[in-house]
Amino acid sequence: MKQHPAIAFSCLAVCLLSGLGAWAANPVRNPGFEEVTGNVPTAWGLPKAAGAVFAIDETTAHSGKRSGRITGTAPDKQTRFVQAWRQDIDLPAEGVPWLTGWYKADQLQTGRLNVLHKDSAGKVLKNQGLKTVKGTFDWKKFTFELQPPKGCKNIQLVLGLQKSTGTIWFDDVTVDSRKKVDYGHARFTIEGTPMAAGKNPLVAIFVLGKTGLSTGDKLVLQWDYWRTSREFRLLKLKAHCGVPGVQLQLRKVPRKKSWPPTRKPIDWEATLVSPAHLPTGTEITLTGMLTMGRHSNVKAGLMAGVIPSGGDSPTPVSDVFVIQSHGGKAAKLKCVAEARPVRGKPGRITVAVTDRFGNPASAFRGTVMFQNASRTDLPTTYTFTEEDAGSRSFMATCPADAVTRVTVTHEVWTGTSNPILPRQKDEPAIYFGDIHSHCEISGDAVGDPDLAYDYAQKFHGLDFAALSDHSPKRDRWQRAIEVANRHNDPGHFVALLGFEWSSNSVGHRNAYYPGYDGPEQPNVDNNMQAWWDWLAKRDQEAIIIPHHSNTQAGQILANGRPAWEPCDWSVINHRYQRVVEICQNRGSFEAPGGPIKELRIRRKDVGASVQTALALGHRFGFIGSTDTHSGRPGTGHARAAVMPTSYTRRGIWQAMHDRRCYATTGPHTLVFFTVNKQPMGSELRLDGKQSRTIQWRIVGTTSIKRVDLLRNNEVIKSWTKSKADDMRAEFEFPQPLRATEWWYVRVIQNDTHLAWSSPIWVDPAP
């Protein structure tokens, strides 16, 4: 019987395709969006998504007559998930699945290609991000090796856009099963001992496997994470191969400038130009100079891979090679003291030795001298041991009726402590901390969280600290809780529990809890009223602290807007939003105008200064904290000072809640401030004829240039005193009280550091 030509061709196609692996044909149903029922493409469906329009496009296609189109119209209405054409496909029993297809874009902000790997019950085991695209381009081919985890039975294709405007098209989507490629393996070595900011030769040796290497294939060096990669630089890469006539074109891949960055950036690629093919066993050596990171608490991973010609993502051919620098020689000496120990009782004095970048000088074995030990019960000298690892704390009793500053020396190094002023037993203490810092729990920070708390105590001498990492969920939030609780040691060091919620549109705010647990960030619209209502409904205690209110991000999104914008002050909430971070590493945000060098306001006013918020009716206590992303709380220009009744997590939290706190740009300056003998953060009611009596005392870490007294954001009196580091004054304000007033003092030291008391509010009695 004569076979029909079409049947014969179909059989031949099946036979040819069977050589690819376990699948006899493309398992993607309706791969070209050609089959349509009404206006719905078969197998893909037609999602009804807010902020995005899905359609079959009969005017453009890579092949055939149709393609699948998605247009983003309102990113703020889109969910956090990818607005995508989706299709579930069963996995084959054998072979490696590959996804190929074609896409084009027009003024696209963020296009995403993902694959969800699922088990037999439909549970997602892995979300494999394949590619993020943007801009305008004509039809391009994409090719990705899929990496299903153990237990995966099927996959879901996710092809679309995310929080984006613009349009993306898809066509001719194919999944096939191929024999596993064998590109071989690679190994790394670093010559010498990596020291902070040092330079070490790095060698990567590729040994090709059975697949070999063909013209257009690329050998690549790829970092395991974008943030850690920015601590290191790989330069001057060269390629060598013992086979005559081999040409490799080297290229350093430019860093993505818009936000977000590439998660696992490729640093270098070496493309085979000639010959047409290199066989198994061929060795190719890449050598370069690696500039080490400055922080010894940061680990980065470098990987080797191969991208086949026309491909997009690398196939790994090495394990992750972990790179970490070591602290250098001792170069700095620091002394930090407990500011207000009880009279007649010993207080803590921490002496720390670091290299020039602030890394622990753990190898230091020198002897330090205490110059004024006769006024305390400190030893006259101390020799560091291996157990100290660069930091040693002493308990010492200081004179009860004077300000003491402890000075330590070693050869040419000198470290002088902050002022120590013992207190009466019934007076509140003053403790200094940094509660806004990030470690590797955040996506854009580095450093081990345990090392972060350890460093805060031993090398910055902080009394309390918190890691406020970005929106940690599930396992990351549990890790944050466990680490904070592990380091919380009432009476010696307090680790607060908190996190940051960064909203692009209404500003950044941190949350802090008084207990040993607390809810992770809820799924509500933003970090303002909806969040506070969510907390109130659960009767959850929390303090919500806005920061860098009067500035915006330097990073630009694909749509041209900043990655985050100023704080929205339109909603007042005195239950939760009771404190503001008035200064941090980005500068101060006290006043409108700017830049104002003396006040450390570094950027122009964008309408959301702290004084703007006060004028609107917000009642904020002031703190400072660094916002460091180095995994080292206290590194930078800001401190929170609190005056609790107990040295516990609850005590520190309650002092901030009650606004018994103040801010400095780093030094442990002592600030005392009252209105009618009421402490900072208070709210007073006076009749219209009562005077306001303001009393203050400042004990600086250096001489004080000026103390300003502000009423309703205006300076009404200033005090100056040449070379004094301890100043005090009393001021009477007898004018009739006709409306609410808020008072605070601002301190400017001669070394340009500042401090701000929290305001005190005076309301007219009814």
What CATH code would you report for 185-323?
2.60.40.740
Q: Token match 């902080």: residue?
A: 462
Token pair listed for 598: 């003396």
90 Cβ partners below 8 Å, 6+ apart? 27, 153, 154
- Find out if CATH 3.30.1480.10 is the number for domain 669-766: no
Going by pLDDT thresholds of 50, 70 and 90, the confidence category of residue 524 is very high
CA distance 274 to 272: 6
Tell me what the mean pLDDT of segment 61-80 comes to.
94
pLDDT band at 16 (very low <50, low <70, confident <90, very high): very low
- Cβ(74)–Cβ(126) under 8 Å? no
Q: Is 700 exposed, middle or buried (0-12, 13-18, 19+ CB in 10 A)?
A: buried
Most confident of 23-32, 452-461, 720-729: 452-461
* Pairing verdict, β 347-354 and 332-337: antiparallel
3-class secondary structure, 451: helix
For the chain, give every residue range classified as CATH 2.60.40.740.
185-323
Structure tokens at 94: 């054998």
Token pair of 534 as six digits: 């969510």
Instruction: Write the DSSP string, 586-600.
Output: TEE-SSSS--BGGGT
CA 227/CA 301 separation, integer angstroms: 11
CA distances to 45, 94, 661, 671, 707 from 679, rounded to whole Å, are 65, 73, 10, 11, 18
Q: Is the peptide bond before 275 cis (omega within 30 degrees of 0)?
A: yes
- Whether 674 shows a pLDDT value over 80: the answer reads yes
pTM of the predicted structure, to 2 decimals:
0.85
Per the CB < 8 A criterion, the answer to whether 160 and 84 are in contact is yes
End-to-end Cα distance, the chain? 107
Delimit the CATH 2.60.40.10 region(s) of the chain.
332-416, 669-766
pLDDT in tens, 452-463: 999 999 999 999
Residue 647: pLDDT above 70? yes
Instruction: Compute the average pLDDT of residues 287-305.
Output: 97
Q: In CATH, what class is 5-178?
A: mainly beta
Q: Give the Cα separation of 542 and 734 in Å (integer).
A: 38
Residue ranges, comma separated, of all CATH 3.20.20.140 domains in the chain are 431-666
537 in Cβ contact with 575 (< 8 Å): no
* Residue 28 in this model has a pLDDT that exceeds 80: yes
**By C-alpha distance, which of 468, 466, 407, 395 is closest to 433?**
466
Three-class DSSP category at 649: helix
CB atoms within 10 A of CB 655: 24
Of 495, 494, 542, nearest in space to 518 by CA: 542
Name the average pLDDT for the chain.
93
For residue 126, pLDDT over 80 is answered with: yes
**Is the confidence at residue 14, as pLDDT, over 70?**
no
Residues with Cβ within 8 Å of 11's Cβ and at least 6 positions away in sequence, in order, are none
Q: What is the CA radius of gyration of the chain?
A: 31
Residue that wins the pLDDT comparison between 3 and 677: 677
Q: Which residues of the chain form CATH 2.60.120.260? A: 5-178
Distance CA 403, CA 419 (A): 6
Confidence band for 24, pLDDT divided at 50, 70 and 90:
low
Architecture label for domain 431-666: Alpha-Beta Barrel (3.20)
Cβ 632 vs Cβ 609: under 8 Å: no
Q: What pLDDT, in 10s, does the model give residues 260-292? A: 889 999 999 999 999 999 999 999 999 999 999
Q: Are strands 587-588 and 579-584 parallel, antiparallel or unpaired?
A: antiparallel
Structural class in CATH, domain 332-416: mainly beta
Per-residue confidence band for 678, with pLDDT thresholds at 50, 70 and 90: very high
pLDDT of residue 94: 80
- Provide the pLDDT for residue 373: 65
Tens digit of pLDDT for each residue in 561-604?
777 889 999 999 999 999 999 999 999 999 999 899 999 999 99
Candidates 259, 141, 157; CA nearest to 504 is: 259
Q: Are 396 and 412 in contact (CB under 8 A)?
A: no
To the nearest whole percent, how much of the chain has pLDDT over 70? 96
Conformational region of residue 43, where left means phi above 0, alpha means psi within -120 to 50, and beta covers everything else: left
pLDDT band for position 4 (50/70/90)? very low
CB 89 within 8 A of CB 75: no
Examine the pLDDT at 758 and tell me if it is beyond 60. yes
Euclidean distance between CA atoms 389 and 109, whole angstroms? 49
145 has pLDDT over 60? yes
Looking at the chain, the whole-number percentage of residues with pLDDT higher than 90 is 86
Q: Is the pLDDT of residue 536 over 70?
A: yes
* Contact predicate 167/70, CB 8 Å: yes
